A and B are shown apart, each in its own frame.
Chain A
Amino acid sequence: MKNDRGDIELAGVCKSFDGVTNVVDGVNLRIADGAYCCFIGPSGCGKTTILRMIAGHEDPTAGEIVIGGQNVVGLAPMQRRTAMMFQSYALFPHLTVRENIAFALRVRGQSKTDRLRAADAMIEKVRLTQFADRLPAQLSGGQQQRVALARAAITEPRVLLLDEPLSALDEQLRVQMRQELRRMQQELGITFIHVTHTQLEAIALADLVVVMEQGKIKQAGAARDVYAHPHDRYVAEFMGGQNVLSGRVEKVNGASFTLAQAAPSGIEVPLQARSTVNVGDKVDIAVRRDDVALVRPGRDLPPGYTTSLPSRVLAIEYQGYFVKVMLDTVPDDEFVAYVPEKTFFADPFTVGDVVMATWATGSALPLA
């Protein structure tokens, strides 16, 4: 019986192209069967290399890649029962949509009638029936993407690998195709591994977000975990939506500690998961941009708000449902408040105003 499980385990996977530097450096990860997993990181962080190693287009220098309980290192893509959707799609330009989609069945020796019937069924699934006889060059970007998806999915792989599938599309189409990817994934019920450098894409789609830097996994977890509870400065800054501040620990008092800052009272931070913090340590903390409230100097802070940092408004950007206010709260680092539109316009600030940036004590998050 063939093994249909598409759970993946990476164990100590390393890859080096020149024998000196590891592009992928000791990656351990477990991806559940039927999960939508997004690898995210800046270009050159090794995410595409991991994808290509899972696909079988690259062999790991060290480590094991286990799919469905079977070590697949050294196997051809067809034996792994993975399929890859390439960046910019790599559709065969001399074949029609139908022939492109039927290609994998053709090289598997399926009869012409069988494979064309299967291809037509798949074409219907991706809603391309009226374009079946066109060449790829005669299709729009979104249609080409659907052909690429159909071509990869036709072999009923247990894992589908997508290399920056949306990067060739314009913004509007990207959002639309994002949903389509998710719909296809649910319909096929197989594991999707998606490489991207767009945070929004990753958190919108993924069950499991894997943040990478320089060949290493920085954090892996559910989208909300990674976004709201970043482990360290890198993840917080990469995922966005957070202000990162650093300072020295002034005193530790039970369940919280106080960070010395250019503030009258310092910054009180709950200890949370960080077990040991000593006086004098240099610590990074993160505060969500939408948790920051701005209060005019002299007014009372809302209850539960203990920290207030005097700041000057550097710039204001209207974003629709919120207003992005850039402040000079901390030297050298960006500090931004996302103020709800209605709150902002009840008492609008202008560039140059002095305000107090404040937040509820519980929303400050110590970073590793």
Chain B
Amino acid sequence: MQPSPSPTLSPARSNLAGWLYVSPLVLVLVPFFVAPILVVLAASFFATDGFGGLTPGFTLASYVEVLHSALTLKLYLATIKFTVLTWIFTLIIGFFVAYFLVFHVRNQLLAIGLFLLCTVPFWTSNIIRMISWIPLLGKEGLINQALLAIGLIHQPLEILLFSDLAVVIAYVHQLTIFMIVPIFNSMARIDKKLIEAAIDAGASRFDIMRLIVVPMSKSGIALGTIFVVSIVMGDFFVVKVMSGGGSASVVSAFYEDVGVLQYPTAAASAVLLTLVLVAIVSLILRTVDIRQEITR
């Protein structure tokens, strides 16, 4: 074959080059993301013999069952409640921690140190982190003891541990860092001169936050929101442990299904949840253009 005289690649070769560029990503995404999703998708259309055996075929029975169940709606409502509460608290805490680190800590070394401090909870396992709430929130826990001692209550509060409150506390504890990091990142990129220019124009601290810092941290807030929402909606473990079995989430339902070998309904629930999450994430991406966060 003669080498092409023109310096530009022939269409076929430039096509090949294009594929080579994306191949690393494809090699990761296909086996670890696309294939499992396809397996789950396929399983959701299969029939089952009730003992874990799957009959290949195409039936919408599992979807009908999931969508007709009153439990599904209840679980979604419960999950959304946890998600929204967790989102609100992680957002508020995350925003102000990031704001403090970026705008009030003058010493950059100190800022980085404090930033690393935020990751300390992650030096231990998720389970330990949850268990560690028990001595604080439990019936004989520190908070109850303290409240009893100062006479504010006469009965230990039951609501502190193994309750929805405990679930939200554990989520917020675990996930605030996922808000801090992207918000910190986008705030750190705000030119300090802009703040000065706003002060020069006569803006108060609140004006600066409302008109400059929040709008310019939007992409970080959006990224953090995506992290928190998808983690909470895809979790069942925290709900199970921290609610003491009193509450359930969407995922805990199909975890149960898997436990009793109802693979197709579990798969159908999983597909449904994926669709819901995709819808939420695309809604967030439509509201906020996060490209600047990723590309710059």
Chain A residues with a Cβ under 8 A of chain B: 55-57, 76-78, 82-84, 86-88, 90-94, 103-104, 106-108, 151-152, 155
Contacts and interface: CB of A to CB of B under 8 A. Distances in A.
Contact of A76 (B199, B207, B215, B216): B199
A298 B186 CA distance: 74
A93 to B, nearest CB: 7
Given A77-B202, A90-B191, A94-B216, A107 B211 contact: yes
B203 interface: yes
B157 interface: no
The SS class assigned to the B binding surface is helix
Contact of B194 (A76, A77, A82, A92): A92
A143 B202 CA distance: 24
Given A92-B198, A93-B194, 14 more contacts: A56-B200, A57-B196, A76-B199, A77-B199, A78-B201, A84-B196, A84-B197, A86-B193, A86-B197, A88-B193, A90-B194, A90-B197, A108-B202, A151-B201
B201 A103 contact: yes
Interface in B174-221: 191, 193-194, 196-204, 207, 211-212, 215-216
A114 to B, nearest CB: 16
A155 B194 contact: no
Given A88-B193, A90-B191, A107 B200 contact: no
A76 B203 CA distance: 10
A86 B198 contact: no
Contacts of A77: 199-202
B113 to A, nearest CB: 23
Contacts of B204: 107
A76 B202 contact: yes
A167 to B, nearest CB: 14
B202 A107 contact: yes
A90 B193 contact: yes
A151 B194 CA distance: 13
Contacts of A94: 215-216
- Residue of A57, A107, A152 most packed against chain B (CB within 10 A): A107
A78 B193 CA distance: 17
Given A103-B211, A104-B202, A107-B204, A90 B196 contact: yes
A92 B207 CA distance: 13
19 contacts: A57-B196, A76-B199, A77-B199, A77-B200, A77-B202, A78-B201, A78-B202, A86-B197, A87-B193, A90-B194, A90-B196, A91-B197, A92-B212, A93-B216, A103-B203, A103-B211, A107-B204, A107-B207, A108-B202
